């Protein structure tokens, strides 16, 4: 019999709010976090918009000295993890005013998803290298830029002494990290884990690179809040976002023994590979559809038991109709009764951070009884003929929800959460 795994804490840093409460309020209100890029001069770029995290002050959650030794993606992860651990009641006062885990640190683990690492550090160090030579590079270039450092920093900040991993499967990284953390607890290797995804890559290099792929929306830079349009016939690409979504996983036994408030059960995970193309999903939707099916099987659930599906929903020409096929592959005729939405319409595509934030959206939907909307869905694509909760959130009871993420390279990951009883 599988060990039951539950969620006891959540933390969010996002383009629509730097707390779970603000994130939830924005989802309900259909608030867009997309705006004109402020972090660099976009002169010469076709794309001048993104979903930036706003008013972020890492010292609200972590020590200033620690923050100075972190790239932005690590700061996001540390801030969101602090929120999640606080909600879970897993922090105690330690030496020198630091707060550390209040449970056995050797039985605690970390699994984070990250796609790109400290891209602003890479960009700045390359600039200094080319302009002034290697002696002018940032001294901490390597430890700041590498993708595993978010997990490493969390380990050091909170004194986590169990396994500490980083999952890299492009845009599926955050979701796959959650799945790996689920397996870590089910295997008995850990009693609890900090998991989710984090990303901060709104820099000239990444905007330019995605722009050259023709993947980013460029037609609505004059009205950025309208640019992210998943499943809409007038979509023209995704909008890059940033942020972190972190949750606390525990075995049911561990959570109940310490009297924790349980937010949801983490019921299942499924993952597949398309084996098809480096950037495009397999056209039939079979690969992603199998990931959904495997997640349902892992949860011991039927498709009809899922009330809400948070889609990858990027707003690209290829993704949206293909993902619609994936959902139909897994759910059959029930797909037409299922509520589906893309919260990327509000946050933009936060790469690895998206998987964590979208899992939190599912858990909020279960606990607060609302279906997050797909804003800007004004002219539905005939190929995308499901109920995508257009424009406005809806109230309703949700007993189980799933979230899917698709990554360059053909990575497909799906997680399932259900009301805890």
Q: Among all residues, which ones are annotated catalytic?
A: 171, 312, 349
Angle between helix axes 149-158 and 72-88 (nearest 10 degrees) is 40
Instruction: Round to whole Å and give the CA distance between 165 and 195.
Output: 10
Please enumerate in sequence order all residues whose Cβ is within 8 A of that of 339, keeping only pairs 6 or more positions apart, or say none.
307, 308, 309, 371, 387, 389, 394, 396
In 148-285, alpha helices (H): 149-158, 173-186, 204-212, 252-257
Q: What are phi and psi of 365, to 5 degrees?
A: -60, -40
Write out the two tokens for 70: 């972190």
In 219-304, alpha helices (H): 252-257, 286-299
Q: How many CB atoms are located within 10 Å of the residue 376 CB?
A: 26
Q: How many CB atoms are located within 10 Å of the residue 2 CB?
A: 11
Q: List C-alpha distances in Å: 341 to 314, 392, 408.
A: 11, 11, 21
Q: Is 55 exposed, middle or buried (0-12, 13-18, 19+ CB in 10 A)?
A: exposed
Kindly state the DSSP code that residue 336 receives in the 8-state scheme. Answer: G
Instruction: Round to whole Å and give the CA distance between 372 and 331.
Output: 20
Q: Comparing C-alpha atoms, which of 162, 170, 158, 237 is closest to residue 197? A: 170
Instruction: Round to whole Å and give the CA distance between 262 and 217.
Output: 39
């Amino acid at each position: 019999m599988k060990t039951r795994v539950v969620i006891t804490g959540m933390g969010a840093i996002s383009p629509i709010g730097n707390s779970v409460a603000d994130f939830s309020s924005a989802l309900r209100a259909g608030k867009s976090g997309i705006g004109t890029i402020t972090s660099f001069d976009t002169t010469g770029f076709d794309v001048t918009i993104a979903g930036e995290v706003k008013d972020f002050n890492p010292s609200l959650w972590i020590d200033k000295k620690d923050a100075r030794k972190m790239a932005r993606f690590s700061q996001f992860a540390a801030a969101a993890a602090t929120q999640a651990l606080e909600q879970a009641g897993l922090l105690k006062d330690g030496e020198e005013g630091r707060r550390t885990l209040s449970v056995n640190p050797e039985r605690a683990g970390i699994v984070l998803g990250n796609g790109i690492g400290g891209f602003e550090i890479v960009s700045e160090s390359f600039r200094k290298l080319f302009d002034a030579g290697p002696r002018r590079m940032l001294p901490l270039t390597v430890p700041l830029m590498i993708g595993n450092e978010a997990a490493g920093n969390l380990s050091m900040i909170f004194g986590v002494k169990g396994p500490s991993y980083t999952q890299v499967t492009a845009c599926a990284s955050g979701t796959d990290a959650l799945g790996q953390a689920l397996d870590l607890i089910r295997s008995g290797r850990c009693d609890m884990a900090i998991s989710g995804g984090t990303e901060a890559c709104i820099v000239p290099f990444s905007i330019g690179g995605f722009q050259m792929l023709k993947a980013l929306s460029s037609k609505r830079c004059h009205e950025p809040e309208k640019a992210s349009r998943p499943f809409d016939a007038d979509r023209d690409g995704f909008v890059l976002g940033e942020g972190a979504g972190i949750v606390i996983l525990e075995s049911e036994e561990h959570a109940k023994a310490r009297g924790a408030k349980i937010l949801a059960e983490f019921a299942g995970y499924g993952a597949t590979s398309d084996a098809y193309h480096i950037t495009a999903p397999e056209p039939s939707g079979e690969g992603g559809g199998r990931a959904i099916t495997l997640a349902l099987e892992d949860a011991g659930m039927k498709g009809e038991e899922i009330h809400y599906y948070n889609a990858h929903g990027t707003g690209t020409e290829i993704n949206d109709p293909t993902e619609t096929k994936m959902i139909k592959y897994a759910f059959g005729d029930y797909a037409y009764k299922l509520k589906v939405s893309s919260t990327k319409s509000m946050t933009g595509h936060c790469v690895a951070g998206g998987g964590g934030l979208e899992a939190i959206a599912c858990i909020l939907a279960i606990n607060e009884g609302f279906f997050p909307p797909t804003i800007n869905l004004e002219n539905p694509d005939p190929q995308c003929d499901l109920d995508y909760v257009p424009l406005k959130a809806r109230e309703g009871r949700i007993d189980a929800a799933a979230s899917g993420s698709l990554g360059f390279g053909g990575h497909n990951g799906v997680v399932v959460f259900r009301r805890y009883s």
